[in-house]
Amino acid sequence: MSEKKVARIKVGKFGVGIIGIQELMEEMAETYADKDSGEIQAHMLEQLGKSNYIPSGARAEYGRAFLREFRKFMGQSYEEESSGQMEIKILGPGCPQCDQLEKTVMELLTELNLPADLEHVRDIGEIIQYGIVSTPALLINGKVVAKGRVPTKESIKKWVTETAACR
């Protein structure tokens, strides 16, 4: 029996590790591509509930998150859920430059005492969905602020503080 992978997804304002979601989406791709949202959510909740803890009071949120991940996986349009705080994404496969950018952003957020949802997207397929071909890339609230290079700490600080001031 092969071991199922754990993928981190956003459920509401939390990052949650889900066992087997990637494998389930691969299995569902052919038969569920044209199904309605309710059917997809119900199936994913049932299947993923077998190996993951899904709190009964949060089933609807998990269902929306599973649907979003499935739509994203299928290359279909989906609605991103906002956590209400600044969202920063580092796009890059995990090369030294990408990891350095992630470290710099984390240090800067700590120094400035700014809350943010920070995610390092390493999956090439997902990176391509953003239209990015040069990594590392830095996105703040969905806007690409740098790509193909590691920006200076001062540049990142400027972008982050400007974004925080607009909230």
Which are the catalytic amino acids? 95, 98
How far apart, in whole angstroms, are the C-alpha atoms of residue 25 and residue 70?
6
How far apart, in whole angstroms, are the C-alpha atoms of residue 103 and residue 125?
23
Are 92 and 101 in contact by the 8 Å Cβ rule? The answer is: yes
How far apart, in whole angstroms, are the C-alpha atoms of residue 85 and residue 100?
23
Backbone phi, psi, residue 20, to 5°: 80, 10
**Number of helices followed by number of strands (H, E) in the chain:** 6, 6
